[in-house]
Amino acid sequence: MQCLYCQKNIHKNPWNHLTNLDEETNKDKYICSYVCYKRLSENNKLPKNLWPHIVNKIDYIDIINPILPKESEFQYLTHDEISEMNDKQKEIYFKRKEEQIEYDSSLTQIRDELEKEDERISKLENIYSDSDDLQDDY
C-alpha cells in the first residue's frame, strides 16, 4: 500500500485507512502520517467530513473519547416515547441527538429512518383505532 500524498510504501499500519473516497475506482486509500494528511487536507484533496470514510476508527478512540460525554450513552427513543415528553425534555433529547450526529452520521441516518417509520406506524395505528371506535358492534 502507498500513501495517497507522498506515494511512500507503507509497511505497517497506515496512519489513516480510507474507503469510498473515489466513486470511480472505489479502492481503499492510505495516508502514512499526519503531515501527509494535513497537506492533502490543505489542498482540498479530502472530503470535509472524513469520518465516514475512515476504516481504522478504533485508532482514534482515545482521541475522541474525551470529547464524548461518558456519564451516559445516548439512547434513541421511539416516536411514542418522544411524544410523551414535555417541551424541555424534547429540546434536550434533540440537542443530544445532534451531538450524536456529529460523532457518527451514518448510524444517525439509519436511526432517523427508523424513527420516521415508527412515527408512520404510530399514525396508522391511531387511524385504525379511531375507525374501530366509529364502527358499531352488531
Q: pLDDT tens across 91-121, in order? A: 988 888 877 766 666 666 777 788 888 888 8
The SS3 call for residue 31 is: strand
Work out the pLDDT band at 71, boundaries 50, 70, 90: very low
What percent of the chain stands above pLDDT 90?
18
Q: Give the residue among 73, 76, 80 at the shortest CA–CA distance from 93.
A: 76
pLDDT band at 78 (very low <50, low <70, confident <90, very high): confident
What per-residue confidence (pLDDT) applies to 7? 94
44-59: b or e for each residue (b if 16 or more CB lie within 10 Å)? eebeeeeeebeeeeee
Higher pLDDT, 58 or 102: 58
Confidence grade of residue 2 (pLDDT, cut at 50, 70, 90): very high
Using DSSP, state whether 111 is helix, strand or coil: helix
Q: Where are the domains of the chain?
A: 16-62, 68-134
Give the burial string for 105-130 (b: 16+ CB within 10 Å, else e). Answer: eeebeebeeebeebeeeeeeeeeeee
DSSP H/E element including 29? strand 29-31
